[in-house]
Amino acid sequence: MRTARKGSVEMPAFVRQLVKETEKRVSSFFKGGRGGASEGEQPGEGEKEEVIPSPYLDRPVLDKLTEEGCARWGLTYALGSMQGWRANMEDFHNCVPQLGGELAEWSFFAVFDGHAGSSVAQYCSQHLLGHILATAGVRLEDHPEKVKGAITEGFMQTDKHLHSVARREGWERGGTTVVSALISPYYIYIANCGDSRAMLCRSGQVFFSTEDHKPYCPLEKERIESAGGSVSLQRINGSLAVSRALGDFSYKGAENRTPSQQMVSPEPEVCIVERSPSDEFLVLACDGVWDTISNEELCAFIHNRLQVCTDLRDVCSQVIDLCLYKGSLDNISIILLCFPGAPQLSAVALHQEAELEDLLESKVAEIYDELSATGEEPDLLSVLTVLASTAIPGLPPGGGIQSKRNCIISAYYHQRETHQHAVPNAVGTS
Protein backbone atom coordinates (compact mmCIF):
# COMPACT_ATOMS: atom_id res chain seq x y z
CA MET A 1 0.00 0.00 0.00
CA ARG A 2 1.13 3.51 -0.70
CA THR A 3 0.03 6.40 1.49
CA ALA A 4 1.03 10.05 1.62
CA ARG A 5 3.94 9.32 3.96
CA LYS A 6 4.84 5.68 3.64
CA GLY A 7 6.07 3.33 0.95
CA SER A 8 5.10 -0.30 0.51
CA VAL A 9 4.15 -2.04 3.77
CA GLU A 10 4.44 -5.59 2.39
CA MET A 11 6.76 -7.34 4.86
CA PRO A 12 6.73 -11.11 4.34
CA ALA A 13 9.49 -11.66 6.91
CA PHE A 14 7.34 -10.10 9.63
CA VAL A 15 4.37 -12.16 8.56
CA ARG A 16 6.47 -15.30 8.76
CA GLN A 17 7.48 -14.35 12.29
CA LEU A 18 3.83 -13.91 13.21
CA VAL A 19 3.00 -17.35 11.85
CA LYS A 20 5.89 -18.85 13.81
CA GLU A 21 4.77 -17.27 17.08
CA THR A 22 1.14 -18.33 16.66
CA GLU A 23 1.89 -21.83 15.37
CA LYS A 24 1.27 -23.55 18.72
CA ARG A 25 -2.31 -22.31 18.78
CA VAL A 26 -3.17 -23.70 15.38
CA SER A 27 -0.83 -26.66 14.86
CA SER A 28 -3.26 -29.17 16.38
CA PHE A 29 -5.94 -28.08 13.94
CA PHE A 30 -3.71 -28.08 10.90
CA LYS A 31 -2.08 -31.40 11.73
CA GLY A 32 -4.93 -33.34 13.30
CA GLY A 33 -8.16 -31.56 12.55
CA ARG A 34 -8.30 -32.47 8.86
CA GLY A 35 -7.80 -35.73 7.05
CA GLY A 36 -7.20 -37.91 10.11
CA ALA A 37 -9.53 -39.31 12.76
CA SER A 38 -12.80 -37.51 13.30
CA GLU A 39 -12.85 -34.83 15.94
CA GLY A 40 -12.96 -36.39 19.37
CA GLU A 41 -12.34 -39.87 17.95
CA GLN A 42 -9.31 -41.73 19.29
CA PRO A 43 -7.77 -44.90 17.86
CA GLY A 44 -8.52 -48.01 19.87
CA GLU A 45 -5.97 -49.67 22.14
CA GLY A 46 -3.40 -51.55 20.17
CA GLU A 47 -4.89 -50.21 16.97
CA LYS A 48 -2.41 -48.58 14.64
CA GLU A 49 -3.60 -45.16 13.55
CA GLU A 50 -3.64 -44.74 9.78
CA VAL A 51 -1.40 -41.91 8.69
CA ILE A 52 -3.09 -39.82 6.01
CA PRO A 53 -1.08 -37.02 4.41
CA SER A 54 -2.44 -33.69 5.56
CA PRO A 55 -3.72 -31.30 2.86
CA TYR A 56 -2.23 -28.51 4.99
CA LEU A 57 1.28 -27.29 5.61
CA ASP A 58 2.90 -26.57 8.97
CA ARG A 59 3.39 -23.00 7.75
CA PRO A 60 1.75 -21.17 4.85
CA VAL A 61 3.51 -20.40 1.58
CA LEU A 62 3.30 -16.60 1.50
CA ASP A 63 4.82 -15.81 -1.89
CA LYS A 64 2.31 -14.03 -4.11
CA LEU A 65 1.82 -14.13 -7.86
CA THR A 66 0.63 -10.76 -9.13
CA GLU A 67 -0.31 -9.45 -12.55
CA GLU A 68 -1.77 -6.23 -13.86
CA GLY A 69 -2.97 -4.78 -17.14
CA CYS A 70 -5.53 -2.62 -18.88
CA ALA A 71 -7.84 -2.48 -21.88
CA ARG A 72 -7.97 0.41 -24.31
CA TRP A 73 -11.62 1.12 -23.43
CA GLY A 74 -10.74 2.10 -19.85
CA LEU A 75 -10.69 -1.12 -17.83
CA THR A 76 -7.77 -1.76 -15.48
CA TYR A 77 -7.22 -5.02 -13.67
CA ALA A 78 -4.93 -6.86 -11.29
CA LEU A 79 -4.56 -10.44 -10.14
CA GLY A 80 -3.25 -11.70 -6.82
CA SER A 81 -2.75 -15.37 -5.96
CA MET A 82 -1.14 -17.23 -3.04
CA GLN A 83 -0.78 -20.89 -2.07
CA GLY A 84 -1.33 -20.24 1.64
CA TRP A 85 -1.77 -23.16 4.04
CA ARG A 86 -2.62 -25.69 1.34
CA ALA A 87 -0.04 -28.37 0.55
CA ASN A 88 -0.37 -27.62 -3.17
CA MET A 89 -1.32 -24.68 -5.36
CA GLU A 90 -4.38 -25.66 -7.40
CA ASP A 91 -5.70 -22.25 -8.54
CA PHE A 92 -5.31 -20.99 -12.09
CA HIS A 93 -6.60 -17.96 -13.95
CA ASN A 94 -7.04 -16.42 -17.38
CA CYS A 95 -6.89 -12.66 -18.02
CA VAL A 96 -7.56 -11.39 -21.54
CA PRO A 97 -8.20 -7.63 -21.37
CA GLN A 98 -8.79 -7.40 -25.14
CA LEU A 99 -10.14 -10.14 -27.38
CA GLY A 100 -8.99 -10.09 -30.96
CA GLY A 101 -10.54 -8.99 -34.23
CA GLU A 102 -14.00 -7.49 -34.12
CA LEU A 103 -14.13 -8.21 -30.37
CA ALA A 104 -11.28 -5.82 -29.54
CA GLU A 105 -13.59 -3.95 -27.15
CA TRP A 106 -14.46 -7.16 -25.27
CA SER A 107 -12.60 -8.66 -22.28
CA PHE A 108 -12.53 -12.05 -20.59
CA PHE A 109 -11.38 -12.98 -17.10
CA ALA A 110 -11.73 -16.19 -15.09
CA VAL A 111 -10.59 -17.87 -11.87
CA PHE A 112 -10.28 -21.68 -11.77
CA ASP A 113 -10.18 -23.32 -8.34
CA GLY A 114 -8.96 -26.90 -8.74
CA HIS A 115 -9.47 -29.80 -6.35
CA ALA A 116 -7.93 -33.29 -6.17
CA GLY A 117 -5.03 -31.94 -8.21
CA SER A 118 -4.28 -28.95 -10.41
CA SER A 119 -4.35 -30.58 -13.87
CA VAL A 120 -8.04 -29.96 -14.61
CA ALA A 121 -7.89 -26.33 -13.52
CA GLN A 122 -4.81 -25.72 -15.65
CA TYR A 123 -6.37 -27.41 -18.70
CA CYS A 124 -9.61 -25.43 -18.40
CA SER A 125 -7.77 -22.14 -17.93
CA GLN A 126 -6.13 -22.76 -21.31
CA HIS A 127 -9.17 -23.96 -23.27
CA LEU A 128 -12.44 -22.55 -21.89
CA LEU A 129 -12.33 -19.21 -23.72
CA GLY A 130 -11.50 -20.94 -27.00
CA HIS A 131 -14.53 -23.22 -26.68
CA ILE A 132 -16.80 -20.25 -25.90
CA LEU A 133 -15.62 -18.32 -28.95
CA ALA A 134 -15.82 -21.43 -31.17
CA THR A 135 -19.62 -21.54 -30.72
CA ALA A 136 -19.90 -18.41 -32.93
CA GLY A 137 -22.44 -16.94 -30.51
CA VAL A 138 -20.16 -14.13 -29.37
CA ARG A 139 -20.37 -11.50 -32.08
CA LEU A 140 -20.01 -7.75 -32.49
CA GLU A 141 -23.79 -7.19 -32.45
CA ASP A 142 -23.77 -8.37 -28.80
CA HIS A 143 -27.05 -10.28 -28.63
CA PRO A 144 -27.42 -11.12 -24.89
CA GLU A 145 -29.25 -14.43 -25.23
CA LYS A 146 -26.90 -15.67 -27.94
CA VAL A 147 -23.85 -14.74 -25.87
CA LYS A 148 -25.35 -16.43 -22.82
CA GLY A 149 -25.96 -19.58 -24.86
CA ALA A 150 -22.41 -19.45 -26.22
CA ILE A 151 -20.96 -19.29 -22.72
CA THR A 152 -23.06 -22.23 -21.53
CA GLU A 153 -22.16 -24.27 -24.60
CA GLY A 154 -18.49 -23.35 -24.17
CA PHE A 155 -18.51 -24.77 -20.64
CA MET A 156 -20.24 -27.96 -21.79
CA GLN A 157 -17.83 -28.43 -24.70
CA THR A 158 -14.83 -27.85 -22.45
CA ASP A 159 -16.08 -30.56 -20.11
CA LYS A 160 -16.73 -32.92 -23.03
CA HIS A 161 -13.25 -32.50 -24.48
CA LEU A 162 -11.74 -32.67 -21.00
CA HIS A 163 -13.36 -36.06 -20.45
CA SER A 164 -11.30 -37.74 -23.16
CA VAL A 165 -8.13 -36.08 -21.86
CA ALA A 166 -8.97 -37.13 -18.29
CA ARG A 167 -9.40 -40.77 -19.32
CA ARG A 168 -6.06 -40.69 -21.09
CA GLU A 169 -4.19 -38.86 -18.32
CA GLY A 170 -5.95 -40.37 -15.30
CA TRP A 171 -7.66 -37.20 -14.09
CA GLU A 172 -11.06 -38.75 -13.28
CA ARG A 173 -10.90 -37.56 -9.68
CA GLY A 174 -9.76 -34.04 -10.49
CA GLY A 175 -12.08 -31.10 -11.03
CA THR A 176 -12.30 -27.33 -10.93
CA THR A 177 -14.83 -24.65 -10.15
CA VAL A 178 -14.95 -21.62 -12.45
CA VAL A 179 -16.13 -18.06 -12.17
CA SER A 180 -15.73 -15.92 -15.27
CA ALA A 181 -16.69 -12.55 -16.71
CA LEU A 182 -17.06 -11.75 -20.40
CA ILE A 183 -17.33 -7.96 -20.70
CA SER A 184 -18.77 -6.30 -23.79
CA PRO A 185 -19.31 -2.57 -24.41
CA TYR A 186 -22.88 -2.94 -23.10
CA TYR A 187 -23.06 -5.99 -20.80
CA ILE A 188 -21.18 -8.02 -18.24
CA TYR A 189 -21.78 -11.76 -18.71
CA ILE A 190 -20.92 -13.53 -15.47
CA ALA A 191 -20.72 -17.32 -15.42
CA ASN A 192 -20.41 -19.36 -12.24
CA CYS A 193 -19.88 -23.10 -11.92
CA GLY A 194 -19.19 -24.12 -8.31
CA ASP A 195 -18.37 -22.06 -5.24
CA SER A 196 -15.99 -19.47 -6.62
CA ARG A 197 -17.84 -16.16 -6.71
CA ALA A 198 -18.21 -12.87 -8.56
CA MET A 199 -19.26 -9.62 -6.90
CA LEU A 200 -20.01 -6.31 -8.66
CA CYS A 201 -19.76 -3.03 -6.77
CA ARG A 202 -21.89 -0.16 -8.11
CA SER A 203 -22.11 3.27 -6.45
CA GLY A 204 -20.19 1.97 -3.44
CA GLN A 205 -22.57 -0.93 -2.73
CA VAL A 206 -22.86 -4.60 -3.69
CA PHE A 207 -25.05 -4.56 -6.79
CA PHE A 208 -24.72 -8.19 -7.84
CA SER A 209 -23.12 -11.44 -6.70
CA THR A 210 -23.30 -15.03 -7.88
CA GLU A 211 -24.80 -17.82 -5.80
CA ASP A 212 -22.48 -20.66 -4.73
CA HIS A 213 -23.36 -24.14 -5.98
CA LYS A 214 -23.28 -26.28 -2.85
CA PRO A 215 -24.66 -29.84 -2.54
CA TYR A 216 -27.07 -28.86 0.26
CA CYS A 217 -28.84 -26.17 -1.82
CA PRO A 218 -32.36 -27.55 -2.48
CA LEU A 219 -32.23 -27.67 -6.29
CA GLU A 220 -28.68 -29.02 -6.29
CA LYS A 221 -29.54 -31.67 -3.71
CA GLU A 222 -32.58 -32.75 -5.73
CA ARG A 223 -30.43 -33.26 -8.84
CA ILE A 224 -27.75 -35.14 -6.89
CA GLU A 225 -30.26 -37.55 -5.37
CA SER A 226 -32.04 -38.04 -8.71
CA ALA A 227 -28.67 -39.07 -10.19
CA GLY A 228 -28.22 -41.71 -7.50
CA GLY A 229 -26.07 -39.75 -5.07
CA SER A 230 -26.58 -38.51 -1.53
CA VAL A 231 -25.68 -35.44 0.48
CA SER A 232 -24.05 -35.98 3.84
CA LEU A 233 -21.73 -33.74 5.82
CA GLN A 234 -22.86 -31.07 3.30
CA ARG A 235 -20.95 -32.96 0.60
CA ILE A 236 -21.83 -35.23 -2.31
CA ASN A 237 -21.58 -38.78 -0.97
CA GLY A 238 -19.84 -37.25 2.04
CA SER A 239 -16.85 -36.28 -0.10
CA LEU A 240 -17.14 -33.47 -2.69
CA ALA A 241 -18.06 -30.02 -1.36
CA VAL A 242 -19.30 -28.50 -4.64
CA SER A 243 -22.22 -29.56 -6.83
CA ARG A 244 -21.12 -27.99 -10.13
CA ALA A 245 -17.66 -28.22 -11.65
CA LEU A 246 -15.72 -29.08 -14.75
CA GLY A 247 -14.12 -32.50 -14.45
CA ASP A 248 -14.98 -34.73 -11.46
CA PHE A 249 -15.98 -37.48 -13.89
CA SER A 250 -16.33 -40.10 -11.17
CA TYR A 251 -19.55 -38.22 -10.27
CA LYS A 252 -20.82 -38.06 -13.87
CA GLY A 253 -21.57 -41.69 -14.69
CA ALA A 254 -25.34 -41.91 -14.19
CA GLU A 255 -26.88 -43.64 -17.21
CA ASN A 256 -29.69 -42.10 -19.26
CA ARG A 257 -29.00 -38.66 -17.82
CA THR A 258 -27.66 -35.61 -19.62
CA PRO A 259 -24.42 -33.95 -18.47
CA SER A 260 -26.37 -31.23 -16.64
CA GLN A 261 -28.40 -33.90 -14.77
CA GLN A 262 -25.40 -35.69 -13.25
CA MET A 263 -24.45 -35.48 -9.56
CA VAL A 264 -21.89 -32.86 -10.54
CA SER A 265 -23.08 -30.62 -13.35
CA PRO A 266 -20.73 -28.76 -15.69
CA GLU A 267 -23.49 -26.29 -16.61
CA PRO A 268 -22.73 -22.75 -15.42
CA GLU A 269 -25.24 -20.26 -14.13
CA VAL A 270 -24.90 -17.31 -16.51
CA CYS A 271 -26.14 -13.87 -15.45
CA ILE A 272 -26.34 -10.79 -17.66
CA VAL A 273 -25.76 -7.39 -16.06
CA GLU A 274 -26.23 -4.27 -18.14
CA ARG A 275 -23.27 -1.96 -17.70
CA SER A 276 -23.65 1.40 -15.97
CA PRO A 277 -21.44 4.50 -15.52
CA SER A 278 -21.87 3.81 -11.78
CA ASP A 279 -20.04 0.48 -12.03
CA GLU A 280 -16.91 0.68 -9.87
CA PHE A 281 -15.27 -2.73 -9.76
CA LEU A 282 -15.88 -6.42 -10.25
CA VAL A 283 -14.24 -9.12 -8.14
CA LEU A 284 -13.71 -12.71 -9.27
CA ALA A 285 -12.34 -14.90 -6.47
CA CYS A 286 -12.09 -18.48 -5.28
CA ASP A 287 -13.70 -19.67 -2.07
CA GLY A 288 -10.42 -19.09 -0.22
CA VAL A 289 -11.54 -15.45 -0.18
CA TRP A 290 -15.26 -15.92 0.46
CA ASP A 291 -14.76 -18.40 3.30
CA THR A 292 -13.57 -15.53 5.50
CA ILE A 293 -15.22 -12.34 4.23
CA SER A 294 -18.71 -11.40 3.08
CA ASN A 295 -19.69 -9.64 -0.12
CA GLU A 296 -20.48 -6.45 1.76
CA GLU A 297 -17.24 -6.48 3.75
CA LEU A 298 -15.08 -7.03 0.68
CA CYS A 299 -16.95 -4.35 -1.29
CA ALA A 300 -16.40 -1.81 1.52
CA PHE A 301 -12.76 -2.79 2.00
CA ILE A 302 -11.78 -2.55 -1.67
CA HIS A 303 -13.75 0.71 -2.09
CA ASN A 304 -11.71 2.17 0.78
CA ARG A 305 -8.37 0.78 -0.39
CA LEU A 306 -8.78 2.23 -3.88
CA GLN A 307 -8.81 5.69 -2.29
CA VAL A 308 -5.38 5.22 -0.69
CA CYS A 309 -3.56 2.81 -3.05
CA THR A 310 -1.99 3.65 -6.39
CA ASP A 311 -1.41 0.05 -7.49
CA LEU A 312 -4.21 -2.50 -7.94
CA ARG A 313 -1.73 -5.28 -7.21
CA ASP A 314 -1.32 -3.77 -3.74
CA VAL A 315 -5.08 -3.89 -3.24
CA CYS A 316 -5.19 -7.57 -4.25
CA SER A 317 -2.25 -8.28 -1.95
CA GLN A 318 -4.02 -6.60 0.96
CA VAL A 319 -7.16 -8.66 0.32
CA ILE A 320 -5.09 -11.86 0.33
CA ASP A 321 -3.36 -10.90 3.59
CA LEU A 322 -6.71 -9.99 5.15
CA CYS A 323 -8.17 -13.39 4.25
CA LEU A 324 -5.07 -15.17 5.58
CA TYR A 325 -5.23 -13.26 8.87
CA LYS A 326 -8.96 -13.95 9.17
CA GLY A 327 -8.24 -17.68 8.99
CA SER A 328 -8.47 -18.80 5.35
CA LEU A 329 -6.89 -22.25 4.98
CA ASP A 330 -7.25 -22.49 1.21
CA ASN A 331 -5.40 -21.25 -1.84
CA ILE A 332 -6.37 -17.60 -2.28
CA SER A 333 -6.88 -16.02 -5.70
CA ILE A 334 -8.57 -12.77 -6.69
CA ILE A 335 -8.99 -10.79 -9.90
CA LEU A 336 -9.96 -7.15 -9.39
CA LEU A 337 -11.45 -5.38 -12.43
CA CYS A 338 -11.83 -1.60 -12.15
CA PHE A 339 -14.17 0.32 -14.43
CA PRO A 340 -13.80 4.03 -15.27
CA GLY A 341 -16.15 4.85 -12.37
CA ALA A 342 -13.92 3.23 -9.73
CA PRO A 343 -12.88 5.30 -6.67
CA GLN A 344 -9.82 7.46 -7.22
CA LEU A 345 -6.96 8.43 -4.93
CA SER A 346 -8.30 10.80 -2.25
CA ALA A 347 -6.28 13.37 -0.29
CA VAL A 348 -8.75 13.10 2.60
CA ALA A 349 -8.52 9.30 2.67
CA LEU A 350 -4.72 9.44 2.51
CA HIS A 351 -4.64 11.81 5.46
CA GLN A 352 -6.97 9.56 7.46
CA GLU A 353 -4.82 6.54 6.62
CA ALA A 354 -1.67 8.32 7.80
CA GLU A 355 -3.39 9.32 11.04
CA LEU A 356 -4.55 5.73 11.59
CA GLU A 357 -1.04 4.36 11.12
CA ASP A 358 0.35 6.98 13.53
CA LEU A 359 -2.29 5.95 16.07
CA LEU A 360 -1.50 2.26 15.69
CA GLU A 361 2.22 2.90 16.09
CA SER A 362 1.61 4.88 19.30
CA LYS A 363 -0.74 2.18 20.64
CA VAL A 364 1.85 -0.52 19.96
CA ALA A 365 4.47 1.58 21.78
CA GLU A 366 2.15 2.03 24.79
CA ILE A 367 1.32 -1.67 24.97
CA TYR A 368 4.98 -2.64 24.56
CA ASP A 369 5.99 -0.33 27.42
CA GLU A 370 3.21 -1.61 29.68
CA LEU A 371 4.11 -5.24 29.07
CA SER A 372 7.83 -4.50 29.45
CA ALA A 373 7.15 -3.14 32.94
CA THR A 374 6.58 -6.72 34.10
CA GLY A 375 10.28 -7.41 33.46
CA GLU A 376 9.86 -9.62 30.40
CA GLU A 377 10.24 -8.73 26.76
CA PRO A 378 6.76 -8.77 25.15
CA ASP A 379 6.29 -11.17 22.26
CA LEU A 380 4.35 -10.21 19.18
CA LEU A 381 1.35 -12.36 20.01
CA SER A 382 0.92 -10.66 23.40
CA VAL A 383 0.99 -7.22 21.81
CA LEU A 384 -1.50 -8.27 19.14
CA THR A 385 -3.82 -9.78 21.74
CA VAL A 386 -3.95 -6.58 23.79
CA LEU A 387 -4.35 -4.40 20.71
CA ALA A 388 -7.19 -6.55 19.38
CA SER A 389 -9.21 -5.76 22.52
CA THR A 390 -8.53 -2.00 22.20
CA ALA A 391 -11.00 0.32 20.49
CA ILE A 392 -9.27 1.73 17.40
CA PRO A 393 -11.20 4.39 15.46
CA GLY A 394 -10.80 4.77 11.71
CA LEU A 395 -9.99 1.17 10.78
CA PRO A 396 -10.67 0.31 7.11
CA PRO A 397 -14.35 -0.65 6.70
CA GLY A 398 -14.73 -4.36 6.05
CA GLY A 399 -11.14 -4.98 7.11
CA GLY A 400 -10.92 -4.20 10.80
CA ILE A 401 -7.75 -4.68 12.82
CA GLN A 402 -6.70 -7.66 10.65
CA SER A 403 -6.24 -5.40 7.65
CA LYS A 404 -3.55 -3.39 9.47
CA ARG A 405 -1.54 -6.34 10.77
CA ASN A 406 1.49 -5.53 8.62
CA CYS A 407 1.61 -1.99 9.99
CA ILE A 408 1.26 -3.34 13.53
CA ILE A 409 3.96 -5.95 13.03
CA SER A 410 6.32 -3.32 11.66
CA ALA A 411 5.63 -1.09 14.68
CA TYR A 412 6.25 -4.01 17.05
CA TYR A 413 9.67 -4.80 15.59
CA HIS A 414 10.57 -1.12 15.67
CA GLN A 415 9.77 -1.04 19.39
CA ARG A 416 11.70 -4.23 20.07
CA GLU A 417 14.75 -2.92 18.26
CA THR A 418 14.52 0.41 20.09
CA HIS A 419 14.32 -1.28 23.50
CA GLN A 420 17.16 -3.68 22.74
CA HIS A 421 19.45 -0.76 21.87
CA ALA A 422 18.33 1.22 24.92
CA VAL A 423 19.13 -1.48 27.52
CA PRO A 424 22.93 -1.68 26.92
CA ASN A 425 23.15 2.11 26.92
CA ALA A 426 21.35 2.26 30.24
CA VAL A 427 23.72 -0.33 31.75
CA GLY A 428 26.79 1.51 30.46
CA THR A 429 25.79 4.77 32.15
CA SER A 430 25.03 3.29 35.57
Residue ranges per structural domain of the chain: 67-338
pLDDT tens-place string over residues 141-196: 999 999 999 999 999 999 999 999 999 998 888 999 999 999 999 999 999 999 99
The pLDDT assigned to 426 comes to 47
Identify the pLDDT of residue 172. Answer: 82
DSSP state of 50: P
SS3 of the chain: helix, strand, coil, percent, to 5: 40, 25, 35
Q: Name the CATH superfamily housing domain 67-338.
A: PPM-type phosphatase domain (3.60.40.10)
Polymer length of the chain: 430
Residue 118: DSSP 8-state: S
CA end-to-end span of the chain, whole Å?
44
The mean per-residue pLDDT over the stretch 244-253 comes to 96
Residue 29 above 60 pLDDT?
Answer: no
Report the distance separating Cα 182 and Cα 205, nearest Å: 21
pLDDT tens-place string over residues 94-128: 999 999 899 999 999 999 999 999 999 999 999 99
What is the three-class DSSP state of 348?
helix
**Which residues does residue 114 pair with via DSSP β-bridges, in sequence order?**
176
* 11: pLDDT strictly greater than 60: no
pLDDT of residue 171: 85
**pLDDT tier at 56, thresholds 50, 70, 90:** very high
Q: Note the pLDDT of residue 276.
A: 98
pLDDT computed for residue 20 by the predictor: 47
CA distance linking residue 153 with residue 33, whole number of Å: 40
* pLDDT at residue number 326: 95
